[in-house]
Structure 1
């Protein structure tokens, strides 16, 4: 049946069927290819923005918004000794991790000394600068939600913004804000209409919403590492995942590292096998240490230290198994983005389990009580 129009620009839905979802296949980039790219990035001059970065493109990815997953751009960056990037701010948010060497990350009024496996977030519209004060190259990986914004045609980026554009609150600025008269307060509180919980909200609330400041945070590996043994101790029989989420409390019940992604550090014991499950959020695994294999949509993929892969395309059945030495894996997943959109459906048991909307209803349980007493 051909699509018909009721009038110009109005399609008759009785004759129109949107295309089916295009499920991306898993995709792995091996450590050797990454090393080759990084060595090439070290050559020649940095870009006009002071950066040397390589963007990983999934074979199914198309403009607008090139990424390793539909919502997620992954870039490998190199900062040579003495180099400093141009101040940049964008409405995209990001999480980055140091891979080799060290550097300083400046995010608005915060300064972080970044070492190997240290992670940090850069909230949207915060000015970021990276500087290498050492005599060795600094290698890092950045995960950004820029493709999501580019697909919406609303991505914003600028370099060398005016000093006044720093928006993190100093104590003085916070005090000034607390004392100001707000138009939203003059406009009044929400008004209840009817008996179902529906309300009316004045315009002033829309342009000056209450907020929780999302600041740049630093997860030092030396601070995180002592906690990894606790999750690694989970033996066969645990039906959850042996990981810690690098949590940013500003994200609240979204349980995110940013408002779009969570970053988790998995430390799996030798020969640990995780359950097969699926979710609409996409997951990207960076193998920091160890080896193993994954089954994604029925395809077996071997991985080892230094590899990066789209390990869980949205709604693809997948499971991961760890080798005889175990593994440490960084996972980036657009879980919080879907919670905010009320679209995060998840299924733990593919044979008989329910499909739940996480963040909108009670979720799943694990058997953690068999391994650990409540704290």
Structure 2
């Protein structure tokens, strides 16, 4: 490489002005537009992969990696009666929710029967197949971290992969490895260097890390719904958010539904006004029932049942208010992705509150004890 090329590759930071963050504005897609798109997806043949899907994108989104948020794609899909998708796997992970009709999903060696508002996750490199065995269309929405991988130019996807790529192969490998010494054990443990806690780790640990098996899980609405009354009872004056996280225990302290996203179900009483706050994780709200409004960066956005909205572009101050009928809202947020990167800064009190790195520091407290007697 010539000296001139090398010079162009090195930037003297003393003369370099860092790029300022350009926050995406709040963006809402109304229910009528979504319904119209779904009706169009029902027409004509399905794609070669057996899918009828349409991406919801933000006007600020650019290739590579189109999404409703920088790290998150949202796709509405339709399966007509008798249709079945081609087996697909990718290194992206996803969370999906049934919106209308009934269907089946096969994820590796698991099969879930799906109804309205049933949720499921598909871990990375798990083979997924969707099928509609009913006599009405099955409509669903899927949130994926594919845009994040596409921006890094590392997105991988294939259809009809060999059957030995499924979870049973991993289980067999795990069983076989338990009968022999692992290379990491032969290489030895980490070595402490110095007196600060720094360590050295052999290469064998890098290529054979300990892992927690990540499975596809099914959150049946019939199982979730009976628990919503508990959060809906949190009345005005509660300074948190009345919700349940659809938790995947494999994600551990990331508190995720997948390792990139959490999905929460908010069930909130009429006229509830939540506190204004901000965080670098991007939040996407799908209004399942009810109506209300949000204030995002000083802009008011009114929403109603069926709308989907990027309600919290990274680090934008925002707060939400609920209308007189109450609301049920699905929120998907790339919270776990930021916890893993130690980048999840959060400010719960915009006027005087500290900025905390959640997952790396002790978090905030709410006044939940006033509503549940400290239980």
Normalising by the smaller structure, the TM-score range is: over 0.9
State the superposition RMSD in angstroms: 1.4
2:258 aligned counterpart, secondary structure:
coil
| 8 Å contact from structure 1 (residues 126, 168) kept in 2 | no
- Shift of residue 17 of structure 1? 1.4
2:178 aligned counterpart, secondary structure:
helix
CA distance in 2, matches of 1:212, 1:114: 26
- Shift of residue 179 of structure 1? 1.7
Confirm whether residue 37 of structure 1 aligns to residue 37 of structure 2: yes
Map of 1:262 onto structure 2: 262
CA distance in 1, matches of 2:167, 2:177: 12
Map of 2:353 onto structure 1: 353
- Cα shift readout 1:181-218 (whole Å, capped 9, x = no counterpart): 21111000101111110001000000000000110000
- Map of 1:1-375 to 2, 5 A cutoff? 7-168=7-168, 174-375=174-375
Of stretches 176-185 and 207-216 in structure 1, the one that deviates more from structure 2 is 176-185
In structure 2, the CA distance between the partners of 1:274 and 1:229, relative to structure 1 (3 Å rule), is same
- Cα shift readout 1:147-200 (whole Å, capped 9, x = no counterpart): 000000000000000001003568665433322321111000101111110001
Structure 1 residue runs without a partner (length 5+): none
- Cα shift readout 1:87-114 (whole Å, capped 9, x = no counterpart): 0000000000000001000000000001
CA distance in 2, matches of 1:129, 1:280: 33
- Cα shift readout 1:1-46 (whole Å, capped 9, x = no counterpart): xxx9982311111111121111000000000000000000000000
CA distance in 1, matches of 2:163, 2:135: 30
2:184 aligned counterpart, secondary structure:
helix
Scaled by the length of structure 1, the TM-score of the pair is: 0.97
1:11 aligned counterpart, secondary structure:
coil
1:224 aligned counterpart, secondary structure:
helix
- Cα shift readout 1:335-361 (whole Å, capped 9, x = no counterpart): 000000000000011110000000000
- Shift of residue 260 of structure 1? 0.3
Structure 2 residue runs without a partner (length 5+): none
| 8 Å contact from structure 2 (residues 109, 167) kept in 1 | no
Figure out how many residues of one structure are paired with residues of the other and give that number: 372
CA distance in 2, matches of 1:265, 1:339: 20
Scaled by the length of structure 2, the TM-score of the pair is: 0.97
2:158 aligned counterpart, secondary structure:
strand
